[in-house]
Amino acid sequence: MASSNRDAAHAYDHIPTGERPAFHEIRALGAWLYEQQKFPQEYIQALMGHADEKMTKHYQEGHTEKEIVYLEVGADLAF
């Protein structure tokens, strides 16, 4: 169901179907990003709606191999 909603939104049409991120992959990445920004684990657990910290940690595992590059950008708005 989630992938059909994702595909119906056409947000990832430029990516082959088998390579498009699934809902849980995006959710897990979000939990990991909160952890990287030093949010308290209790906060992330509540945000994710998990009953225990073990499940939250499970979502946060496996992202360290991927390097995320943060860029600071500006917006040149013509007004």
Contact yes or no for 44/35 (Cβ under 8 A): yes
Q: What is the model's pLDDT at position 46?
A: 94
Domain ranges of the chain: 2-60
pLDDT over 90 at 70, yes or no: no
Mean pLDDT throughout 41-64?
Answer: 86
The 3 state secondary structure assigned to the chain is: CHHHHHHHHCCCCCCCHHHCCCHHHHHHHHHHHHHHCCCCHHHHHHHHCCCCHHHHHHHHCCCCCCCCCCCCCCCCCCC
- Give me the residue label for tokens 């950008």: 73
Read off the pTM: 0.60
**pLDDT higher than 60, residue 1:** no
